[in-house]
Structure 1
Amino acid sequence: MGRDELLGQARAAHADRRWLTAFDAFQAAESAAPLGPEDLGLMAECAHLLHRLDDFFAVRELAYHRELDTGDPVAAATSAFWIGAQHLHEGEIAQGTGWMQRAFRLAATVKQDDRLRGYLSFASSFRAEAAGDLDAAARIADEAVEAAQRCDDADLTALALHQAGLLHLRAGRLDKGRALLDEAMVVVTADHATPMVTGIVYCGVIAGCWSVYDIGRAHEWTDALTGWCAAQPELGSFVGECRVRRAELRLLHGEWGEAMAELGGMEDDVDRQSAALAIYVRGDLERLQGRWEDAERSFATAARLGQEPQPGLALLRLARGSTQAAAAMVRRSLTETAEPDRRVAVLAAAVEVLLAVGDEAGATAAATELDTLAGRQDSDVVRAVAAQARARLAVGTGHPERAGEPVRTALETWLRVGAPYEEARARRLLEAACRALGDTESAAREERTAREIFERLGARPDLDALDHHARQTLSAREVEVLRLVATGATNRAIAAELYLSERTVDRHVSNILSKLGVASRSAATARAGEWHLV
């Protein structure tokens, strides 16, 4: 096959989004005769979409040098920008900074060019963000948006809007941030941006939604990303992150089996960052299922890949009885975690863990900070997390009368969002508050509902905790009655066996059903079997 035919095949495959086919054809054409910078750009995009980053860097650098050789400093500066941006994304700071400096140096040699100015404003925004100046970073990103709109460049427009939106979210300007991200998504969903930029923006926007717990938008854009990835069978980049985001949503909505299926085999994903996050999420799910040894391994693997395993690991230590180790972990995490989204999760865990070790002051401080964050973030989910922490603090410090209002607020949110595990946890708090206030009937109802949810999910540790609590609350006489109920004996027969009045046995059976959170004698019999009382 001749070089021109190979090149035609490569361009056609690229247009059809057959990335591997296109890359191989471009490579064969380059072997026959040097490609021009434009075709090298397409070849580099194929490499990126296949997540063959060594090839991406090699081809982009080749394009950079050929652009310099042909006297096109604007194109060369743009190539330098992309090389630098990818190195920075991979955490290779020195190389990334060096290539960005090349881009700036080349830009200084040409007349005003809005497109190049926009890309370099984008780079300057990265620099300001890394220095911790979010306001300056957002202002510079806004300048990149203006430059993009002047030159009508779809890639630059999508990137700049997405970067500006993320920065405004981080700076607490949530309405503006969301509006900018929505505008960026209009560009990519209309198929105006190139595939590489489309994938970058999809993933960035979805991460931004999760950072402010905007579950509705996370759903919408994850569904769109799923469809986009599915239409490109040869895609390597972005697929892993898409799977993780789907798994997080399934976990939230109680679809634990489906979530675990999404996370299967992610250790081998070509994207290390996606693999690390996936393995952490898997470890958290294993923790909730009571598969503690599996969770230990998952958290260790996630940490080895660069993912901080908190607060999941601290909650695992708490579940396994290592309360002091759990407390040390959350205290350390609180000193190290600045990002609001991760801090919300760490603070919620800290309230639970610190109460377990008797650190009421620490738990109170964590709950108070959660309330402050909830006031800053326009998120029902964050408000629910804060309210539930406040209720947990009230119950844990002996003030159950203060728990009802916040826990009902949280419960309403979990019901609306469709988060059954969090709903069940809220019901356990409500049950504890009701029981402490003497409302045993309401307590039994909430315990029964929570148990049904935990059983449906397979939340073994929570079920064990319920059973332990129920066993602790049964008196010795009630245990005797339960054993006889489990044999099928009537209340009259039990009364005769234990030399009690039938009225007394009626009262014992009623108390047993209430304490066990079950509605029938058959359910109580099943519980007695689980506890080996019969």
Structure 2
Amino acid sequence: MIDTGLMAAVRGWLRRAESLLADLDECAAHAVIAMVRTYERFMCGDMAEARTEAIRSQALGERLGVVPATVIGRVARARIHILDGAVDEGIGQLDEVAVLLASPDVDPLTTGMMYCELVCAAQGLGLHDRAAEWTAIMDRWRPGQAIGGISGRCRVHRAEMLRISGPCDAAELEALAACEELRPWMRREFGWPLVELGTIRLRKGDLDGAEEAFLSAHEHGWFPQPGLALLRLEQGDLAAATELIADAVAHPVDIPSKERPPFGDLRLAPLLEAQTEIALASGDSATARSAAARLRSIADTYASAGLAASAALAEARAALAGGELEAAVDAACIAVSTWAGLGAPFEAAVARVVLAQAHRRHGADDTARLELTAAASAFESFGASRRAAAARRLLEELDGDTPASEPAGQDARAAAVFRVEGGTRRVCFGDAEVVVRDLKGLRYVERLLTEPGREFHVLDLFAAESGAVGPAESEVSPAEGVDFVGGVGSGLPMLDDEARNAYQRRLADVDEDIEDARRDHDLGRLELAERDKEYLLAELRRAVGLGGRTRTTGGSTERARTSVTRTIRYALDRLAEHHPDVAQHLDQHVHTGTYCSYADDPLLKVDWQT
């Protein structure tokens, strides 16, 4: 029940259990109740009561031999220590638990849930190296051991790690797989993997895919910020980005979650970092300074290299917005160095762009060029094509719009061949020519090359390739990296019959919890229970269309988008084995998503013969 994020149902279960145990001596069931109560309070943001129940859970577990109660109590106490600011003490306690989880004394369900807790605690602190270590341990443990949604949670953590280390395509595939695995287990908290998917797509430059994921998370009652605000910034809607992030900082949503506990200043850190980025774009130096100062205070309280790097970058942006160029250079240098040391190439490249902007405004064009070149290269390797293109545009502004080797007013052009000949494809680019096996992904690319700059919807690409809206199972080669099965026209039901019946049962639990809260004059509990009821009713309405028909999700566009992206990326990987130069060019200039396109290189336009 905790997986659903619906605490009223959990409280109903606890209330019934406590009534059954009211006249019994202390026994193992009391330890289990204290264990569940610990996380019910923790996820609802009641730190004081969560601490009390965690101490009780650990004590009862040790005295009565209930290992899960002992372990969960210890983990909860450690996480509360961290949220209190005692970071070293809390991390040390979690390290001790990690050793215990490796023993056969802890059952698989508790082991999987607590590994997840360890990773979440490290991620929240920006301890990405520690999170990566614990994720690797969890991943080795998972096969044959994971129960319920644990395997999917592990996948989300792997996606989080790949979002930091790259490559972006691998992170997206992991996030998509996590969504598929967690769909049957999570309800409101299903927004967690969806937000991760949206963040990864935003980094890739797939703005349509990012919007789809963020809005879907919001529909599930999850908090999509700062991702949605940063998406609006990328889309050029600065006013919307400013409004969204200001509202998110002022009113962070208190959603029950053990992944992202709904209390404490740590939850504000990513919001404040995003606010400085948006404020710099709008020239709002006062907001940038205020957000950077608040983030620095959080980083000083919860000491970690990741938070320190985020605070340094925020300070660099605030200084740049205020025209304090020396301070901007100093802070950006710290951010670049720290992120690079943490193995976070995307974050380091973002910091390099800010550093380059400060150098350029200071008149150090050669130094700015050096940083932008490094940033563009890092973005390309990471798979962040949109960011790479933006960095190259800044380089063009430094160098002038026309390459020095070409007379002004003339475009540099090159001829290239990308033509099917029987079952093979002849590819000529630069000084090299190769003949390779033709692949479906290469045929998609050929269609894009015929009209540079035009955006093709993925369903149109399918229609052109197979003559139908979506490929049949027989048309998709497993070797091309696609797990697309069946046509794309039919989706999955938003809620199956079992889930719908479970929701209706939980509505009764929620109504009971609301009545108890009103009777006890517990306004905080009443507000949480009413939120649960609103969420359940919204989910039931969302799952049923006109005439009571079941609505479906994951239909044509999304499944086609995933299939086309994987197919093109697989084909370019194979092409790189024979002609790395053309594969690199296409990887940089072919954009995938709901709409796919090929964008000309502004420095060297290519006349493709297909």
Q: Which amino acid aligns with 1:242?
A: C
CA spacing shift, 1:335–1:371, aligned 2, 3 Å = same
CA spacing shift, 1:295–1:125, aligned 2, 3 Å = closer
Shift of 1:184: 2.5
Give the structure 2 partner of residue 409 of structure 1: 334
CA deviation vs aligned residue, 1:457-494 (integer Å, no higher than 9, x gap):
23222233224334444558877646679589xxxxxx
Aligned-pair identity in percent equals 28
CA spacing shift, 1:451–1:475, aligned 2, 3 Å = closer
Q: Check the 8 A contact 1:157/1:184 in 2, yes or no.
A: no
CA deviation vs aligned residue, 1:77-115 (integer Å, no higher than 9, x gap):
xxxxxxxxx3x54233333222212333344312344x4
Between the aligned partners of 2:605 and 2:203, the Cα distance in structure 1 is: 20
Q: Check the 8 A contact 1:240/1:275 in 2, yes or no.
A: no
Q: Check the 8 A contact 1:154/1:193 in 2, yes or no.
A: yes
Does residue 224 in structure 1 map to residue 299 in structure 2? no
What's the secondary structure of 1:306's corresponding residue? coil
Match of residue 176, structure 2, among 240, 264, 271: 264
Match of residue 314, structure 1, among 229, 232, 238: 229
Does residue 204 in structure 1 map to residue 117 in structure 2? yes
Match of residue 380, structure 1, among 286, 305, 314: 305
Shift of 1:205: 2.2
Does residue 158 in structure 1 map to residue 71 in structure 2? yes
What's the secondary structure of 1:272's corresponding residue? coil
Between the aligned partners of 1:446 and 1:433, the Cα distance in structure 2 is: 11
Q: Which structure has the larger Rg over C-alpha atoms?
A: 1
Q: Check the 8 A contact 1:118/1:147 in 2, yes or no.
A: yes
Higher relative contact order (CA 8 A, sep 6+): 2
Match of residue 253, structure 1, among 156, 165, 168: 165
Q: TM-score, normalised by structure 1?
A: 0.70
Q: Check the 8 A contact 2:377/2:388 in 1, yes or no.
A: no
Q: Check the 8 A contact 1:138/1:168 in 2, yes or no.
A: no
CA spacing shift, 1:155–1:343, aligned 2, 3 Å = same
CA deviation vs aligned residue, 1:283-326 (integer Å, no higher than 9, x gap):
22222222211222121222223332111111111111100001
Shift of 1:367: 0.7
Correspondences of 1:38-49 after superposition (within 5 Å):
none
CA spacing shift, 1:530–1:318, aligned 2, 3 Å = farther
Q: RMSD in angstroms over aligned alpha carbons?
A: 2.8
Between the aligned partners of 2:284 and 2:321, the Cα distance in structure 1 is: 11
Give the structure 2 partner of residue 167 of structure 1: 80
Q: Check the 8 A contact 2:126/2:304 in 1, yes or no.
A: yes
Does residue 367 in structure 1 map to residue 292 in structure 2? yes
Q: Check the 8 A contact 2:169/2:383 in 1, yes or no.
A: no
Between the aligned partners of 1:280 and 1:374, the Cα distance in structure 2 is: 24
Give the structure 2 partner of residue 184 of structure 1: 97
CA spacing shift, 1:482–1:457, aligned 2, 3 Å = farther
Q: Which amino acid aligns with 1:252?
A: I
Q: Check the 8 A contact 2:241/2:278 in 1, yes or no.
A: yes
Q: Check the 8 A contact 1:142/1:164 in 2, yes or no.
A: yes
What's the secondary structure of 2:603's corresponding residue? helix
Between the aligned partners of 1:358 and 1:215, the Cα distance in structure 2 is: 31
Q: Check the 8 A contact 2:4/2:186 in 1, yes or no.
A: no
Q: TM-score, normalised by structure 2?
A: 0.62
What's the secondary structure of 1:528's corresponding residue? coil
Between the aligned partners of 2:381 and 2:276, the Cα distance in structure 1 is: 27
Shift of 1:440: 2.1
CA spacing shift, 1:142–1:481, aligned 2, 3 Å = farther
Give the structure 2 partner of residue 493 of structure 1: none
Q: Which amino acid aligns with 1:419?
A: A
Q: Check the 8 A contact 1:482/1:528 in 2, yes or no.
A: no
Between the aligned partners of 2:321 and 2:266, the Cα distance in structure 1 is: 25
What's the secondary structure of 1:191's corresponding residue? coil
Give the structure 2 partner of residue 99 of structure 1: 13
Shift of 1:421: 0.7
Does residue 399 in structure 1 map to residue 399 in structure 2? no
Q: Which amino acid aligns with 2:110?
A: V
Does residue 529 in structure 1 map to residue 529 in structure 2? no
Does residue 193 in structure 1 map to residue 193 in structure 2? no
Does residue 437 in structure 1 map to residue 362 in structure 2? yes
Moved more, 179-188 or 157-166: 179-188
What's the secondary structure of 2:604's corresponding residue? helix
CA spacing shift, 1:254–1:101, aligned 2, 3 Å = same
The structure 1 segments of at least 4 consecutive aligned residues displaced by more than 6 Å after TM superposition are 476-480, 482-485
CA spacing shift, 1:468–1:215, aligned 2, 3 Å = closer
Shift of 1:252: 0.2
Give the structure 2 partner of residue 458 of structure 1: 383
Between the aligned partners of 1:146 and 1:236, the Cα distance in structure 2 is: 28
Correspondences of 1:330-341 after superposition (within 5 Å):
330-337=245-252, 339-341=264-266
Shift of 1:378: 1.7
Between the aligned partners of 1:531 and 1:139, the Cα distance in structure 2 is: 68
Between the aligned partners of 2:93 and 2:118, the Cα distance in structure 1 is: 10
User: Unaligned 5+ residue runs, structure 1?
Assistant: 1-85, 489-524
What's the secondary structure of 1:163's corresponding residue? helix
User: Unaligned 5+ residue runs, structure 2?
Assistant: 253-262, 415-599
Shift of 1:238: 0.7
Between the aligned partners of 1:196 and 1:478, the Cα distance in structure 2 is: 61
Give the structure 2 partner of residue 285 of structure 1: 200
Q: Check the 8 A contact 2:172/2:197 in 1, yes or no.
A: yes
Give the structure 1 partner of residue 155 of structure 2: 243
Q: Check the 8 A contact 1:134/1:170 in 2, yes or no.
A: no
